[in-house]
Structure 1
């Protein structure tokens, strides 16, 4: 006979009651879909409740073999039920859910909150059957599924395999580069899906905002060309351009988290203050623009060269890889100048990098040392100032005087706020 130890009733009461509740919760949902008569489906309210309590009781008796025997019995019961199913649309959902319910009962003994969360999640998943099927078969597009698989493979397969150590000094860390790549793709994917749910003016604002995570400079140039070539409303486009600057400051914090978290205490307040001012100013410009111009921007300010999604695609992998490669290359350049010229090299490299991409310049500055050194915060301020001037010139050249007149004041104002707080908190 198996050596079984009977638990005290005070110890057993809570997990058994929780298992009964979990089984009843899942069983209620299955009972509603069970049907009636000879063609009714396998297992319902009572079966799920009994199976969950059985799992908890087997775990309470403290014998691993008994738990395994119970799991094997429930699995065999599901196989027999599936083999005898003669319905027009047979599925194994109920059978698999029954086995999982047994395991939830076992978990009730080991980790009660986890078991409760699993039961609630399983019930929600079972209840959302029609909506999930409609989402996958009707709403989700084939290109979006392919992109989702690529993103999942990058995050779940490639990222854990990347070595988490820099290849040259503090730069060229493969894990950091892949993290930034995954972040770019995830943001673009979210932006693409949200743009499908929004309309008109809101879509213009959100598309510009999402494009800022790729390149606010290129977004401003694209919007400016829409004003000059397509007759777009200058105020609306300028509002979108200013909203694209909000992710620039938010991504500064994300880059700091990924590359050098010790910078966060001195960066979060200036970045959030500047981003808030840009968001309020840009939102005011968008809200005050004529409603009929809501579609002047087209489907999206993204272009394939920027790595933004087009059509059904959620993102452009090659574009995001190009941005990640640019970031890594500028980090190498700034680190080389740092080794050659010291602090002056960091400032010179930051100046050159910020003309092209602010995130790359800041990543190089963050990677140049540990905690912020005495002179290095000035490199961040220099990068912000040069980048703002670069975007102002881009606005004038791409969209003309009307576009720049709406955009440049807000652009310089939010940059000045960020730089002033950096100087005060330095």
Structure 2
């Protein structure tokens, strides 16, 4: 089918190709060098290649576009074959072909072509930073972890069947997505700890640890207080800040197992997050001189794993087991069984309880109000469990400081949920 181009649209396409070629070409010109070892192309070559692609596309001749692409590719092959430098590369050759292709794209979508030009230029300009990241900053265990995570996200999740095996539970794809989400959370916490090691900021370190386990974070902070290594007030503030991760993970669980609940839960979760963040920050800001530095960091492995797949599988199994438990109790005892199962699950993990409750239905279903109150009860029981852990691990002073914040942010969540 022939395309009729107006004069204005033709000028727009050529102007887009000109700008894209200039953008990429200027970056390459700065790195082209001089003398016999200079690179293949600079600002003029990139601009001409982009304009050639746009012109071929405007002529609406597919054969001409293909011939042009082959010609630019052949130029790159010849230039690479004649390169006698100590470290020959193909970046400029590939970028020149992309400049031609972006010129072709200009005739179909100017915004897409402009975005591609900016992305390509950014990658070209970030050579040194990307090399340092890949060679120096990134660790072998993190590369391995990223490959495993990509395999699960791109292969296991799409291939898993997407249908419940019993009622609304035991959906294989939901279970695999849970594992994937847990691995992503562990990975983010790992990267957060790496970035924060140099800063030793207690608040941010506790927040990052909370994404692994807020309860475990509260317990470890309490042990430091009991042993006399830290004061109760700042440790309690850090413990409350770790509860921000609890609210964030609650939203993640809802989005994974029953996205319909997001509209009902975002406001309560935001209220709980704000109370926990402000409460914990106030306790840390009250330190003399604004001191917020953590104690000496313990020696960490030189190449720690980005995540622990076994832990993610165990947590996902716990979440699924709690869903099955609540499903069975609900079918046996009705609403009373639903609440009983949610409370039992909350003693172990609030996210397991939330997943078990939310998977039973949607907020606008007939069971919606009962599910909402079951979730509120589960979150409350989990807050009481955290307070007990704080008292047991750090004594009454730490338990009072940390427990009051935990209960306050939970009360905010439940209150807003009740008004939703």
TM-score interval for Structure 1 and Structure 2 normalised by the shorter chain: over 0.9
Contact kept in structure 1, 2:201 and 2:292, CA below 8 Å: no
Question: Match for residue 85 of structure 1?
Answer: 83
1:77 Cα deviation (Å)? 1.0
1:95 Cα deviation (Å)? 0.6
Q: Deviations over 1:306-357 (max 9, x none)?
A: xxx9953222221122111111111111111111111111101001000000
Residue 354 of structure 2 is aligned to residue 362 of structure 1: yes
Count of aligned positions: 416
Compared CA separation, residues 20 and 299, structure 1 to 2 (3 A): farther
1:292 Cα deviation (Å)? 7.1
Question: Match for residue 38 of structure 2?
Answer: 40
Compared CA separation, residues 310 and 207, structure 1 to 2 (3 A): farther
1:192 Cα deviation (Å)? 2.3
Question: Match for residue 68 of structure 1?
Answer: 66
Question: Which region of structure 1 is more displaced relative to structure 2, 394-403 or 256-265?
Answer: 256-265
Which of 401, 420, 424 lines up with 2:419 in the alignment?
A: 424
When normalised by structure 2's length, the TM-score is: 0.93
C-alpha RMSD of matched pairs (Å): 2.3
Any unmatched runs of 5+ in structure 1? 303-308
Tell me, what secondary structure is at the counterpart of 1:41?
Answer: coil
Tell me, what secondary structure is at the counterpart of 1:371?
Answer: coil
Residue 26 of structure 2 is aligned to residue 15 of structure 1: no
Contact kept in structure 1, 2:383 and 2:407, CA below 8 Å: yes
Question: Match for residue 324 of structure 2?
Answer: 332
Contact kept in structure 1, 2:387 and 2:403, CA below 8 Å: yes
1:184 Cα deviation (Å)? 2.3
When normalised by structure 1's length, the TM-score is: 0.91
Q: Deviations over 1:127-185 (max 9, x none)?
A: 11111111111122222222222222222222222222222221122222222322222
Residue 347 of structure 2 is aligned to residue 348 of structure 1: no
Which of 196, 204, 214 lines up with 1:198 in the alignment?
A: 196
Question: Which region of structure 1 is more displaced relative to structure 2, 79-88 or 215-224?
Answer: 215-224
Question: Match for residue 317 of structure 1?
Answer: 309
Question: Match for residue 236 of structure 1?
Answer: 234
Question: Match for residue 56 of structure 2?
Answer: 58
Residue 89 of structure 2 is aligned to residue 97 of structure 1: no
Question: Which region of structure 1 is more displaced relative to structure 2, 329-338 or 194-203?
Answer: 194-203
Tell me, what secondary structure is at the counterpart of 2:107?
Answer: helix
Q: Could you tell me how far apart the structure 2 residues matched to 1:134 and 1:29 are?
A: 20
Question: Match for residue 392 of structure 1?
Answer: 387
Any unmatched runs of 5+ in structure 2? none
Question: Match for residue 136 of structure 1?
Answer: 134
1:103 Cα deviation (Å)? 0.9
Compared CA separation, residues 213 and 191, structure 1 to 2 (3 A): closer
Question: Match for residue 294 of structure 2?
Answer: 295
Question: Which region of structure 1 is more displaced relative to structure 2, 25-34 or 398-407?
Answer: 398-407
Q: Deviations over 1:363-403 (max 9, x none)?
A: 11111112352322210111011111111111111111121
Q: Could you tell me how far apart the structure 2 residues matched to 1:167 and 1:286 are?
A: 48
Q: Could you tell me how far apart the structure 1 residues matched to 2:147 and 2:316 are?
A: 20
